Amino acid sequence: MEVIRAEAMGLCFGVRQALECVAAVGDPTAVTVYGELVHNETVNRGLARRGFRRLDEQRRGQALPETPLVLITAHGISDSERARLCGAGLRLVDTTCPLVRRAHDAALGLQSEGCYVLVIGRRGHVEVQGLIGDLPRAEVVESAAEVRCYHQEKIGVLCQTTSSDALVRSVLEAVTARNPGSEVRFVDTVCRPTRERQQALDRLLPLVDALVVVGGRNSRNTRELAESARARGVPAYRIECAAELHPGWFQDCRAVGLTAGTSALDETIEEVHRALLQAPVAGFQVPGFRTEVLGTGPGNLYAEPGA
């Protein structure tokens, strides 16, 4: 079986910068990571072993860390939250990705122009919560189906940085169609690494019979890569590590594609690649592979191994 890698995949520069920053911390016990540094359990377990504390993502904005230093993740926080933390005497180690900052600037800019702001993204996602945290007149839109008439003179639209172009396009069309009397302004805040990964996937899909996507279970961009493949009729399997590969998935495959979300470590991708290369076309058994039946045969377009 041939394994074809996407031309762009894996860790983005924003996450790499955050990882470099934590690697340089001398006394991890003095630092609380404000949520998940990346949506990658291997990384998070490694941080815990080094002594970093972690505040649960759902408690951001409510609890105050007990350590003197707080590490803001690449997903960023709102200015009001920043002020709350600093007001409590905490010092911030800020690894907010510059492209997330750009999205914050776009949101504030649209607001200052008098727009009612729509953020295309996932409601509970920490980046989105940060984006709307400073906006009194804003709401989150997850899909075109949610779009309504907002009865606003001006509507400003931006996106979570990891949104897919297809989603953004469909929501924008719906906003325009359902608000014919409004002026609609759009700032494209999808980040370049996300777009490069999506475009690389577009080139990869016609070449393969199935797709393996490496990345964290909570990683939105990982999920979207798999969903893109599914929407185009290519079975897609999301895994966090090579041990989650299942022998039955590739029985009729001549070529399998490999891609990864922005939270996947290089070594994990390489491990998965090596494991796939060892896979015979039918009924392979490779040490470390799970062999139980998951009900995720070739007829399934999408599987959540281990879920």
Which residue ranges make up the site for ligand SF4 (CB under 6 A)? 12-15, 74, 97, 99-100, 161-162, 191, 193-194, 262
Distance CA 42, CA 12 (A): 17
Tell me the one-letter amino acid at 54. Answer: R
Considering the complex, state which of residue 240 and residue 250 has its C-beta at the smaller distance from ligand SF4.
Answer: 240
Distance CA 71, CA 37 (A): 9
Distance in Å, CB of 257 to ligand SF4, minimum = 20
Distance CA 56, CA 180 (A): 42
The CB-nearest residue to ligand SF4 is 14
Considering the complex, state which of residue 220 and residue 246 has its C-beta at the smaller distance from ligand SF4.
Answer: 220
Catalytic site positions:
127
Bridge partners of 238, per DSSP, are 213
Distance, C-alpha 109 to centroid of its chain: 24
Distance in Å, CB of 141 to ligand SF4, minimum = 19
Distance in Å, CB of 164 to ligand SF4, minimum = 12
Distance CA 124, CA 122 (A): 6
Beta strands 210-214 and 116-120, pairing class: unpaired
State residue 306 phi and psi, 5-degree precision. Answer: 80, -5
Considering the complex, state which of residue 14 and residue 35 has its C-beta at the smaller distance from ligand SF4.
Answer: 14
Distance in Å, CB of 63 to ligand SF4, minimum = 24
Under 8 Å between Cβ of 10 and 262: yes
Considering the complex, state which of residue 129 and residue 162 has its C-beta at the smaller distance from ligand SF4.
Answer: 162
